[in-house]
Amino acid sequence: MPDTSGATSPMFDQRPWGTFTVLDEGANYKVKRIEVFAGKRLSYQKHSQRAEHWVVVQGTARVTLNDELIVISKGELVATLRRRRVRARRSENSSRRL
C-alpha cells in the first residue's frame, strides 16, 4: 500500500469545534493532537475501516461511547473498535487535548 501522507488531508485544520494537528502518519496509522474549544464537541460518528485510540493529555473529557457516557482524565485512554459510535465533549471550564 503506497504512503499518501499529506496528499488528501491537511496537517493542521481549524473546525467549528476546535483544531487538529497531524503529528505523525504512515501507511496504517495517523497520530493527531485534537484541541476542542470550551463548550464544543466532536460529532457522534463511527468508522467502518478503522479503530481509534484517544488519550487525554490535559484536563478531562466527557466521552460518549455507544450511547454510554464516560468521563476520562489526564493520562486515561479510550479505545474504540470499528463500527462503534464515539464522540468527545469539552465542558465550559475544562482545558482538554486528546
Q: Which residue has the higher pLDDT, 4 or 25?
A: 25
* 97 contacts 33 by C-beta, under 8 angstroms: yes
**pLDDT, tens only, 57-92:** 888 888 888 888 888 888 998 887 666 666 666 665
**pLDDT, tens only, 34-60:** 888 888 888 888 777 778 888 888 888
State the fold for domain 12-89. Answer: Jelly Rolls (2.60.120)
Three cell numbers, residue 41: 464537541
Instruction: Please give the pLDDT value at position 97.
Output: 57
Amino acid at 69: L
Domain locations in the chain as residue ranges: 12-89
Q: Which residue has the higher pLDDT, 51 or 20?
A: 20
